Structure 1
Amino acid sequence: MDFTGKNILAPMVKAGTLPLRLLALRYGADLVYCEELIDWKLLRSVRRENSMLGTVDFIDESDGSVVFRTCSSETSQVVLQLGTCNAERALLVAKKLENDVAAIDINMGCPKEFSIKGGMGAALLSQPEKVRTIITTLVNGCKIPITAKIRLLREHKETLAFCKMLEECGVSAIGIHGRLKEQRPRHANNNGAIAAVARELKVPVIANGGSMEISCFEDINKFRAACGVSSVMLARAALWNVSIFRKEGILPLDNVIIEYLKLAVKYDCTVGTSKYCVQSMLRELQESPRGKAFLAAQSLHAICSLWDLGDFCSNIQEERRKMSGAVSNGKAETIEGERTAKRRKHEQDDTSSTDMVTLPCVFQRGLYVKKDADLPKTRLLMWSRQNSFDQPAYSTTQVEKLFRAVLEVNNVKYTSSYWEKNKRFAEQGAALVALVSLGLESKEKALKEGSLLSSD
């Protein structure tokens, strides 16, 4: 694999998931890095081929979350960025994923407290012997290229010595962010310092940190020349508008958002990640009427509807449920084959009652910002009192890190097939099921808002 003359999507926490990576490749990126993934999290994950999505998923079985999702469209161009401080763990991860990615990059530049305290990221810049062990172990034990991404050290000679050591260990490329670990984006990127190191090295150098200088494709080449390197890596400039990789010119932002959302739906991206990416693209447009509506949206369907993709989202999700027999939770598709035995058992026990009403309702707190009297539990309680029924009774089950509530009112039980992140939301979701079933909440309104997911 050649790292020379490449335009690359940089690793970005939360943003660098499959939809953004695929869109970057579509627009002309040569390589794409995933967000930094920690070694122990990958080690405890299970590899599964997801035939419904056409992806390979690494699943954390403790909560069913997707640690890493990839597909054949990017296999030869995706680089896994690994957060590690241990050679043995790093090699185990490399062997586990080497058939699903094109290369593995070791993060030695992240200045965040989490990485530093864990001995990862920029903490490795002060531990060259540990780095030597990690890189040598990976290069000797792995069949795919190994790269490293660093930040500048305080003195040129220190940076050069560190990079020379990496080169001697056999890395295929070195990414250099042109700031010190103490510096932030508001500080100027030191292009000259990158150039001074690059001309002393034989391996390809990938320059990073120039987003404030880059607003079009031509600027990428200017940054490349200023840093004296052959390859460039873009983070924020690509996140703001990933069509910056197009030689033909940047596209209107709405076009990019629409294409991103289509991929987010197609590959079942979580609503949190999708919203984060679109919000990063909107920037100052968050203050526009549509921007404000976007900020209030709490489901992928609601977000898609703002760009006239509501039907597209609904159709994809419905097709997916027909294929899998599963119900999308709007955050991460929970496929029957991926559920733990515990959760399956609870669902079977809950729904075995003939008096149980089950709907795929999702409680979205953002829809109830005006007054608590509008909350599903409050409305159901008031209805019960008006009809002289006993107060609704709630029982909640916790499995792993998720919650599901069953409520009983007027001798009928109600529950949502969607597992919530906390007890309060689970109870509100069950109350919403009751409101919809009793005709106290419009089914059409709930579907439009994304509170009720369409079902077969």
Structure 2
Amino acid sequence: MTKKIFNNYCDKIILAPMVRINTLPMRLLALDYGADLVYSEEIIDHKLIKCKRIVNDALGTIDYLDAEDKVAFRTCDIERDKVIVQIGTADPERALKAAKLVEQDVSGIDINMGCPKGFSIKGGMGAALLKKPETVYQILTTLTSNLSIPVTCKIRCLSSLENTLELVKIIQSTGVSAIGVHGRTKDERPQHKNRNDFIREISRYLSIPVIANGGSGDIKCYDDIEVFRRQTEASSVMLARAPESNCSIFRKDGLLSMDEVISDYLKYSIEYDTNINAVKYGVQHMMGSYQATPRGKACLRSISVREICNLWDLSDYYDEYNKDSISPSNSAES
């Protein structure tokens, strides 16, 4: 049975899962700045099942390589007790097979039941599961009955509070250790007001920890995180858009400048041999409107991590780490 240690998800500030953003450098950066837990980007069960587990002594990491020998998931001892892998799935047995593969290297498994994107919906995953309570129950009970680590799921609200409460009651009955709730429906977007009242009622209704999500639009500094938690009465708070722009939102001592955060991110990207596409994508989101500046445009034109590092005066740092081949397969995160 799953070890349902509820304290693992109480009074925590968490980096929410974000596709293409939550590679190892971003997760480690969030932990450095003060996050208590970090989620991986969503990994589809079909992809994860086909991966092979490799101990990468050169980097000090555990790599899960896909069929093309590209890194689908990379982790290390630093985050071992704090990283949760999010899986996209629509099938209980496939979900279990994928979770079993990474079970020994992570602190928890989360099932994506809230993604509103067409790819997830068409595959019966993400928000499509919100209208399939039987499948939700089957997936989660299969995992909680067969894993040695905590299982959680992340949902969006249904259009009515009553229906949302019915769903979370079913989820709680599966034995999950916590539930993450994004306070918008699958059809609502960031410009729509987050349903903090829904999350508050869910928090009052359930006996397991509730992780509030969707409040980044109102979170401008560290103290705002606690304001959001109080408004929702949730056990913990999960952030996506705020750290995507400036990961130092997790710092109790205040925000760092964009350049400081990017420099810290690039150092981890160098140390963990991160793919140019992932690095560029992360830096672009941190730059925001500054992508229109000369340095932003130069970043967009870059075709190597070293070129990006040079823009932040880190070419010497890059060269020092790359004196020798640091990865036998040169299989950086994609």
Q: What per-residue deviation string (whole Å, max 9, x for no partner) do you get for residues 189-224 of structure 1? A: 111111111111110100001111001000100111
Residues 282 and 137 (structure 1), Cα distance of their counterparts in 2 relative to 1, 3 Å cut = same
Amino acid at match of 1:284: S
Once residues 232 and 294 of structure 2 are traced to their aligned partners in structure 1, the CA distance between those partners, rounded to angstroms, is 41
Amino acid aligned to 1:34: S
**How far apart are the structure 2 equivalents of 1:115 and 1:166?**
20
1:318: how far off?
Answer: 2.3
Separation (CA, whole Å) in 2 of partners of 1:300 and 1:51: 22
Match of 2:279 in 1: 274
Structure 2 alignment gaps of length 5 or more:
none
Say which SS state the counterpart of residue 211 (structure 2) adopts: strand
One-letter amino acid matched to 2:249: I
Say yes or no: does 1:22 pair with 2:62: no
Measure how far apart 1:269 and its partner are. Answer: 1.0
Larger Rg: 1
Match status 1:129 vs 2:134: yes
2:151 matched residue in structure 1: 146
Question: Which amino acid counterpart does residue 184 of structure 1 have in structure 2?
Answer: R
Q: Which consecutive aligned stretches of 4+ in structure 1 deviate over 3 angstroms post-superposition?
A: none
Question: In structure 1, what residue type is equivalent to 2:265?
Answer: Y
Give 1:54's match in structure 2, choosing from 54, 60, 75: 60
Residue of structure 1 aligned with 2:187, choices 182, 185, 208? 182
Distance change >3 Å, CA 87–CA 327, structure 1 → 2: closer
Matched pairs, number: 327
Whole-angstrom CA distance in 2 between matches of 1:117 and 1:289: 40
* 1:360-379 alignment, distance < 5 Å: none
Name the CA shift for 1:327/1:134 in 2 (closer, same or farther; >3 Å).
closer
For the residue of structure 2 that corresponds to 1:125, the secondary structure is helix
Match for residue 9 of structure 1?
15
Aligned-partner SS, 1:48 = strand
Counterpart of 1:82 in 2: which secondary structure? Answer: strand
TM superposition score normalised by structure 1: 0.70
Alpha-carbon offset, residue 284 of structure 1: 1.1
Q: Is 2:201 the counterpart of 1:193?
A: no
Give 1:257's aligned residue: 262
Q: What SS does structure 1 have at the residue aligned with 2:78?
A: coil
Which AA in structure 2 matches 1:307?
Answer: W
Residue 306 (str. 1) matches residue 320 (str. 2): no
Higher relative contact order (CA 8 A, sep 6+): 2
Q: What is the distance in 1 between the residues matched to 2:115 and 2:122?
A: 11
Tell me which residue corresponds to 1:77. Answer: 82
Pick aligned residue for 1:35 from 29, 32, 41:
41
SS in 2 for 1:199: helix
* Distance of 2:207 and 2:332 partners within structure 1: 45
Quote how far apart the aligned CAs of 1:225 are.
Answer: 0.8
The one of 206, 222, 240 aligned to 1:217? 222
- CA gap of 1:333–1:125, structure 2 versus 1, over 3 A, is closer
What CA distance in whole angstroms lies between the structure 2 residues aligned with 1:64 and 1:230? 39
Task: Letter of the 1:36 partner, please give it.
Answer: E
Aligned to 2:238: 233
One-letter amino acid of the counterpart of residue 178, structure 1: G
AA in 1 matched with 2:193: A
Question: Aligned to 2:84, what secondary structure does the other structure show?
Answer: strand
Are 1:208 and 2:213 an aligned pair? yes
Q: CA RMSD in A?
A: 1.3
Displacement of 1:333 in angstroms is 4.5
Q: Which amino acid aligns with 2:303?
A: Q
The whole-number CA distance in structure 2 between the counterparts of 1:267 and 1:5 is 30
Alpha-carbon distance between aligned partners in 2 of 1:67 and 1:302, rounded to the nearest angstrom: 24
Q: Does 1:164 align with 2:169?
A: yes
